[in-house]
Every structure is written in C-alpha cells, then in structure tokens.
Amino acid sequence: MDFKEYQKESIKTDLNVVVKNSNLAYYALGLCDEAGEVAGKVKKLYRDYNGELTEEYKKEIEKELGDVIWYLSQMCTKLGLDFNEVAKMNLDKLNSRKERNKLSGSGDNR
Ligand SMILES: [Mg+2]
C-alpha cells in the first residue's frame, strides 16, 4: 500500500468528515496527541522496562506510529494535498540537502 491508497482508504474512518464539522485544528491537535503517545511509549520503555525493547512493546509503538500516519493523511486531505506527493517532496528535499551537504544545520529552506 502506498500513501495515496492509504489516504483514500483512511478517510472512510474519519468521523469528522462524515459529520462535516471538522477543521484543520482538529487534525493538527490529533497529530500532536498521537505523536505524544509515541513519545509516551518510549518514555515508559525506559521508566518501566529499563529500556529493553521487546517485540511486543515495539508493536505497541508501531500502533501509535500508525495513528500518527492517520492524522497526517487526514491533514493532507483537509488541505487538498496528495499524501504520496508530500512524502515524495520531503524525500526530494532531504536528498537535495544531502547532495549539498546541508543535512545538518537549521532553517526550513536550506
Ligand atoms: Mg494512539
């Protein structure tokens, strides 16, 4: 499955689209919420499991990463963007930085 297909399928699970009361803030907050859940799982890995990553725990992190992708996809849809193209554009940007030896440093448009 590619991001384009994911975007098309995942929108079917967006309750806010169905009730037509969604806005961009809802998705931005959801994205931050789910990213926080990823960070929380990693924090608890160290707090509760001495940093020892099991396959079972990795699966739990994987689920949260999937939730992050869901919100990314819905944000793309809400903005009228092709999720696949967003991913491709990001890779193109990073490859350009790599070629120009600009992977490190700061500035969005370096
Ligand atoms: Mg989650």
* Sign, Cα dihedral of 50, 54, 57, 61: positive
Ligand 1 centroid, distance to 30 Cα (angstroms): 9
The closest of 15, 1, 17, 2 to 77, measured between CA atoms, is 17
One digit per residue, pLDDT tens: the chain, 110 residues?
899 999 999 999 988 764 455 688 889 999 999 999 999 999 999 999 999 999 999 999 999 999 999 999 999 998 999 999 999 999 999 999 999 998 888 888 87
pLDDT of residue 109: 83
pTM tops 0.75, yes or no: yes
Ligand 1 centroid, distance to 25 Cα (angstroms): 17
Q: Encoding tokens for residue 12?
A: 């079917």
Ligand 1 centroid, distance to 38 Cα (angstroms): 8
pLDDT of residue 14: 87
User: In the chain, which residue ranges form alpha helices assigned H by DSSP?
Assistant: 3-10, 15-19, 24-49, 55-78, 83-99
Ligand 1 centroid, distance to 85 Cα (angstroms): 25
pLDDT of residue 110: 74
Ligand 1 centroid, distance to 63 Cα (angstroms): 7
pLDDT of residue 18: 47
The fold for domain 3-99 equals: Helix Hairpins (1.10.287)
Ligand 1 centroid, distance to 37 Cα (angstroms): 6
Residues in the chain: 110
Domain layout of the chain by residue ranges = 3-99
